[in-house]
Structures are given as structure tokens and as C-alpha cells.
């Protein structure tokens, strides 16, 4: 706590210093109320471009825009005090090269109040990561399954099997050497996730990887069970919010149709309460 009683927000160096220590707790957030729920429990909160799918109903993250990322980043920022807030660079906002990436990342940092940005890609993005970090923009890397590249890889396939394991390890080394403060390993084999974690000196954050990673992240909507028909193998459901929500909405609809809601306790009378006279 500071002298004013405000809790200090974690920084990228704080997260990097957690390498090899207590596991780093990470979740995604897209709104202020959800951010407030996880504020005291997470070290890192990601405003992920997964918002395109879970909030806006898009078929993939490819259609997510910078304006969408900024809007949700501002909302999440209002709900956080302690966790580091990382914001995804959306598809098309950094692939053209380091200068484009800097301009996009600068907007997320200034307009979206991000504490760091995340981008997808391994060795191919090393130059961009170095360019950003040298100019004061902390970067979280993301290797393994790359959702923004789903149209070229042909589906959500497990990464790091067979000959691909060596390339994934090379990608991890490249982003670490370029200055990333951490790296997400998505949908990779447990063995390569553990090898990467033991090899590089920055924290690994697993999603469909291994409990031996330095931290874990899930899409909060998946973890809370908001999508009953979507349950990836690597997701553990810690709630059944879709069931609870449907039951609540059904009860509300029944009460409205039966005129049980609003009840007397929800209504306002015709006469305003008498005002208190001021004492002499």
C-alpha cells in the first residue's frame, strides 16, 4: 500500500521476477464488473482479442479492431487496482513491421491505459518485440497456437509435436532474447511446455500447456461455463453461469407474465415523504 492507501499495481518487471516462484494467476477480462471480481485474485489480467468471439459473437479473432480493443481496455482498467493489465494487439495492427506495431501499441498504452501489450508470433516477431521494448513498451509474447493465424494453420491444432518441437523452442528463445517479459504457450504438448519453461529466463504462461509453466491463463467466459456447447480439453469449468443465468431469466419471465413482478416492495407511492424541518 502507498501512503494514500492505494494498492500498487504490478508491473512487467514484477511479473518477470516471479519466474520459478509461486505460479502466476492470469485471466481474461472485457468489462468493469468482471475485472472487479478478479482484482484481488490475479497477478495479470489480459484484455484479449478473444473478446471478438466471446463478447461480440465473431467467428474468430481476426475481425477484432483497434477501436474494440481500446473500448474494452478502458472498461477493464476501471475495475483493476493490483493486477498488471495486458492488452492484445489485434490482427492487422502490427504485422506490417516494427513502426506500425509501435504506433498501435502506443495507442493501447496511452488511450487504453495498458500496462503492457501482447502480440502473436515467435522468431518472426523478434525484431518487432525488440523495437517496442527498446522504446519503453513492455511486450508479452504468444507462441504455439496462434488464433490470429487460424486461417493459415487450418484449425485449432496441438502445437509442438514431432519436428515442430524444436521450432517452438527456438521461437521461445527468440522472444525472450528480444526482450519480452513473459510468453504465453497455447495448446502445446506438456513436454515442450516444460522444456521451454526450464530453458528460458522469462515466465511462461500456459493455456493448454503444462502445470509446470510459471503461470496459467484461461478465457474467463470458458472457465465460468458461459458457453455450454464449447468446452476445450484444456478448460476446467469452475462455474455454470450459463445454467444459472438461464434459470434466472426464466424465473423473471414467469414472474412478469404472472404479474408477480414488480411486487409492492418495488413500487413508489403517490405521496412523497414529509421533509424534516430544520432545528432552530
Q: Give the domain CATH number at 202.
A: 3.20.20.60
> Does 22 appear as a known binding residue?
no
pLDDT at 274 over 70: no
- Pick the residue with more confidence: 48 or 273? 48
Q: Is residue 264 part of a domain?
A: no
Q: What is the pLDDT of residue 77?
A: 98
H helices present in the chain, as ranges: 12-16, 32-38, 51-54, 66-77, 98-110, 126-134, 150-153, 164-178, 190-199, 220-223, 241-257
Averaged pLDDT for residues 220-235: 90
Q: Is residue 38 part of a domain?
A: yes
> Does 236 appear as a known binding residue?
no
pLDDT at 4 over 50: no
> Does 170 appear as a known binding residue?
no
pLDDT at 145 over 60: yes
Q: Is residue 194 part of a domain?
A: yes
Q: Helix, strand or coil for residue 86?
A: strand
- Pick the residue with more confidence: 228 or 139? 139
Q: Is residue 119 part of a domain?
A: yes
Q: What is the pLDDT of residue 33?
A: 98
Q: Is residue 230 part of a domain?
A: no
Averaged pLDDT for residues 42-49: 98
Q: What is the pLDDT of residue 2?
A: 36
Q: How far apart are CA 227 and CA 138, in angstroms?
A: 33
28 pairs with which residues across the strands? 46
- Is 119 in contact with 139 (CB distance < 8 Å)? yes
| Residue 58 CB neighbour total at 10 angstroms | 16
Could you tell me the pTM of the whole model? 0.92
Q: Is residue 250 part of a domain?
A: no
Alpha carbon separation from 76 to 18, 213, 245 (Å, rounded) = 23, 26, 22
Domain boundaries, position 35? 12-223
- Is 110 in contact with 143 (CB distance < 8 Å)? no
DSSP assigned state of 89 = P
> Does 187 appear as a known binding residue?
no
Q: Is residue 129 part of a domain?
A: yes
| Phi and psi, residue 162, nearest 5° | 60, -135
Joined grid coordinates for residue 53: 468471439
Q: What is the pLDDT of residue 280?
A: 47
Residue 186 a catalytic site member: yes
| Domains held by the chain: number | 1
Q: Is residue 276 part of a domain?
A: no
> Does 127 appear as a known binding residue?
no
Of the residues 111, 177, 186, 194, which is catalytic?
A: 186
116 pairs with which residues across the strands? 86
Amino acid at each position: 500500500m502507498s501512503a494514500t492507501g492505494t494498492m500498487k499495481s504490478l508491473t512487467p518487471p514484477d511479473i518477470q521476477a516471479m519466474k520459478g516462484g509461486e505460479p502466476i494467476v492470469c485471466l481474461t477480462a472485457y468489462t468493469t464488473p468482471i475485472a472487479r471480481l478478479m482484482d484481488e485474485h490475479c497477478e495479470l489480467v489480459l484484455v484479449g482479442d478473444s473478446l471478438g468471439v466471446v463478447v461480440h459473437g465473431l467467428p474468430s479473432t481476426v475481425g477484432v479492431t483497434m477501436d474494440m480493443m481500446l473500448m474494452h481496455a478502458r472498461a477493464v482498467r476501471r475495475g483493476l487496482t493490483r493486477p498488471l493489465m495486458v492488452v492484445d494487439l489485434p490482427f492487422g495492427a502490427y504485422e506490417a513491421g516494427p513502426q506500425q506495431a509501435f504506433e498501435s501499441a502506443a495507442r493501447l498504452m496511452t488511450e487504453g491505459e495498458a500496462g503492457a501489450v501482447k502480440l502473436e508470433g515467435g522468431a518472426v516477431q523478434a525484431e518487432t518485440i525488440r523495437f517496442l521494448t527498446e522504446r519503453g513498451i513492455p511486450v508479452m509474447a504468444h507462441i504455439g497456437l496462434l488464433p490470429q493465424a487460424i486461417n493459415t494453420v487450418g484449425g485449432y491444432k496441438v502445437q509442438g509435436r514431432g519436428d515442430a518441437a524444436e521450432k517452438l523452442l527456438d521461437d521461445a528463445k527468440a522472444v525472450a532474447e528480444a526482450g519480452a517479459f513473459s510468453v504465453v504457450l497455447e495448446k502445446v504438448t506438456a513436454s515442450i511446455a516444460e522444456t521451454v519453461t526450464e530453458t528460458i529466463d522469462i515466465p511462461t504462461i500456459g493455456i493448454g500447456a503444462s502445470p509446470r509453466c510459471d503461470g496459467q491463463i484461461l478465457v474467463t467466459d470458458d472457465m465460468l461455463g458461459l458457453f455450454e456447447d464449447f468446452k476445450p480439453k484444456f478448460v476446467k469449468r469452475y462455474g455454470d453461469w450459463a445454467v444459472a443465468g438461464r434459470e434466472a431469466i426464466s424465473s423473471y419471465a414467469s414472474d412478469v407474465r404472472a404479474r408477480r413482478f414488480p411486487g409492492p416492495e418495488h413500487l413508489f407511492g403517490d405521496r412523497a415523504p414529509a421533509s424534516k424541518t430544520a432545528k432552530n
